[in-house]
Structure 1
Amino acid sequence: MLSRVAPWLASHKEGAAPEGLVVRSLSGADTPALRRLAEQDPVANVFMLAHLKAVGSAAPTTGGATVFGVFDDGVLLGACWAGANLVPVELDPEFAGVVAEAASASGRRFASAFGPADAVLALHTELAALGHAAHEVRDEQPLMTICGPPEVTPNSHLELGRLADFERILPACAAMFEEEVGYSPFLGGKEFYSRRVEGLIRQGHSLAHVNDSGEVVFKAELGAVTAEVTQIQGVWMNPEYRGQGLSAGYMAAVVEKARALAPVTSLYVNGFNLRARSTYERVGFSQVGTFATVLF
Structure 2
Amino acid sequence: MSAGAGIGVRSGPGTGRILDDADLPAALAVCALDPVASVLATVRLEHAARIGLHRTGGQLWGYEVDGLLVAICWSGANLVPVVPDLPDVDPTRGAEIADHALTAFGAFGRAQGRRCSSIVGEAPAALGLWDRLRPAWGRVREVRADQPSMVLDRDPAFPADDEVRLSRPDEFDALLPACVQMFTEEVGYSPLAGSGGAYEARVRGLIRDRRSYVRMDATGQVEFKAELGAVAGGVAQVQGVWVRPDRRGAGLSESGMAAVVAQTRAEVAPVVSLYANGYNARALAAYRRVGFRQVGTFATVLF
Q: What's the TM-score once normalised by structure 1's chain length?
A: 0.89
The answer as to whether partners of 1:28 and 1:58 remain within 8 angstroms in 2 is no
Amino acid at match of 1:266: S
- Taking only the aligned residue pairs, the percentage that are identical comes to 44
Q: Which residue of 2 aligns with 1:269?
A: 276
Residue pairs, 1:38-187, within 5 angstroms: 38-56=31-49, 59-90=52-83, 92-187=98-193
Amino acid at match of 2:259: A
Residue pairs, 1:229-248, within 5 angstroms: 229-248=235-254
CA separation in 1, counterparts of 2:179 and 2:229?
Answer: 12
The structure with the largest helix share of the pair is 2
- Provide closer, same or farther for how the CA distance between residues 63 and 51 of structure 1 changes in structure 2, counting only shifts above 3 A: closer
The answer as to whether partners of 2:42 and 2:233 remain within 8 angstroms in 1 is no
Q: What's the TM-score once normalised by structure 2's chain length?
A: 0.87
Q: Deviations over 1:240-274 (max 9, x none)?
A: 21122221111111111111211111111111110
CA separation in 2, counterparts of 1:227 and 1:97?
Answer: 27
Q: Which runs of 5+ in 1 are unaligned?
A: 1-5
Are 1:22 and 2:28 an aligned pair?
A: no
Are 1:36 and 2:29 an aligned pair?
A: yes
How far did residue 63 of structure 1 move? 4.8
**Alpha-carbon RMSD:** 2.1
Q: Find the partner of 2:300 among 275, 293, 296.
A: 293
- Provide closer, same or farther for how the CA distance between residues 87 and 227 of structure 1 changes in structure 2, counting only shifts above 3 A: closer
How far did residue 239 of structure 1 move? 1.0
Amino acid at match of 1:154: A
How far did residue 201 of structure 1 move? 0.8
Q: Which residue of 2 aligns with 1:197?
A: 203
How far did residue 105 of structure 1 move? 1.9
Q: Which residue of 1 aligns with 2:3?
A: none
Aligned residues: 284
CA separation in 2, counterparts of 1:215 and 1:190?
Answer: 26
CA separation in 1, counterparts of 2:295 and 2:51?
Answer: 27
